[in-house]
Homo-oligomer: A and B are copies of this chain.
Amino acid sequence: MPLTGKTRIHTLIGSPIAQVLAPGWLTERMKAADYDGLLVPLHIEKGNLDTALPVLKAMPNIDSILITLPHKFGAIAHCDRLSGRARLLGAINAMRREEDGRWFGDNFDGAGLAAGVKKAGHAIKGKSVFMVGAGGAGSSIAVSMLEEGAHHLTFHDINTINQGMLFEKLSSAYPGKVSIGSVVPAGCDIVVNATSAGLEKGDPLPIDVCQLAPHMVVADVITDPIPTRLLAEASKIGCATRDGTHMLDGQIELLFSFMLRRS
């Protein structure tokens, strides 16, 4: 499909931008759907968000804007409407122009991991989840697990401020469903690493693997290396595993539908 002035433009903003892979993946996904569109990476530096977003929103051939660090929080102010989870999280990674011209923001980071788990045939509804990491990714994953009907979520972060803030948000939206705890609970079904431990070779394991049991599904947000040491150890024990690329893959489909207003 040749690029022309009729091609619909979608953008991904962030700083830095060189590391992003979504432009290629989502543009390929559009091509596969015979949709004449393009996801363009745009490097918008930290202080420039509030001048840049109104300019992008005013371009009639831009349909959606994906958002990566450091703009996930700041972009909220440029939306006219938010999904429930975006409001709860105070952060978005996608916004689109609605038919009425308003901009709607949502957050698919956690939904991508949930979709990846389900795609591999593992239920979330009714299950017990343990997660380490309560930063941006962890918060979004926590909300998605509860949205998907998880029976209970236990989580932990060594940053007790993040831990406390997430607990407050979740326990008001999902009362009785959330606990703080650093040990994988006995009857737990799904274990998630949402910390960066595993990115570097010498990193400690984010979870004591002796706490894992073969029936558990272990998921990690890290995309490089694959598998992380956590997932390699979990595999040895007999756990099913989901790595960071499964999370991204799950999110691509959700983002694609969102950007094209098909969901």
Chain A residues packing against B (C-beta within 8 Å): 2-7, 9, 12, 16-21, 23-24, 27, 38-45, 48, 51-52, 54-56, 58-62
Is A61 in contact with B39, judged by CB distance below 8 angstroms? Answer: no
Q: Kindly list the 3 A-B residue pairs having the minimum CB-CB distance in the complex, ordered from nearest.
A: A5-B20, A43-B61, A2-B24
13 A/B residue pairs, CB under 8 Å, sorted by A: A2-B24, A3-B38, A4-B21, A5-B41, A6-B18, A7-B23, A9-B41, A17-B61, A38-B38, A44-B59, A45-B58, A48-B55, A51-B55
Tell me the minimal C-beta distance from A150 to chain B in angstroms: 33
Residues of B within 8 A of A17 (CB): 5, 61
Residues of B within 8 A of A42 (CB): 9, 59, 61-62
Tell me the minimal C-beta distance from A15 to chain B in angstroms: 8
Tell me the minimal C-beta distance from A17 to chain B in angstroms: 5
Is B3 in contact with A27, judged by CB distance below 8 angstroms? Answer: yes
A236 CA to B3 CA in the complex, in Å? 36
A44 CA to B62 CA in the complex, in Å? 10
A59 CA to B20 CA in the complex, in Å? 16
Tell me the minimal C-beta distance from A248 to chain B in angstroms: 14
Residues of B within 8 A of A12 (CB): 5
Is A60 in contact with B41, judged by CB distance below 8 angstroms? Answer: no
Residues of B within 8 A of A19 (CB): 5
Is B5 in contact with A23, judged by CB distance below 8 angstroms? Answer: yes
Residues of B within 8 A of A45 (CB): 58, 60
Tell me the minimal C-beta distance from A261 to chain B in angstroms: 18
Is B62 in contact with A58, judged by CB distance below 8 angstroms? Answer: no
Beyond the given A4-B18, A38-B40, please list 9 additional residue pairs across the A-B interface where CB-CB is below 8 A: A5-B18, A5-B20, A9-B41, A18-B61, A42-B59, A48-B55, A48-B58, A52-B55, A55-B55
Residues of B within 8 A of A7 (CB): 23, 41
Tell me the minimal C-beta distance from A136 to chain B in angstroms: 19
Is A24 in contact with B41, judged by CB distance below 8 angstroms? Answer: no
Tell me the minimal C-beta distance from A259 to chain B in angstroms: 15
Residue among A23, A51, A54, A56 with most chain B CB within 10 A: A23
Question: Quick one: closest B residue to A52, CB to CB?
Answer: B55
A142 CA to B10 CA in the complex, in Å? 39
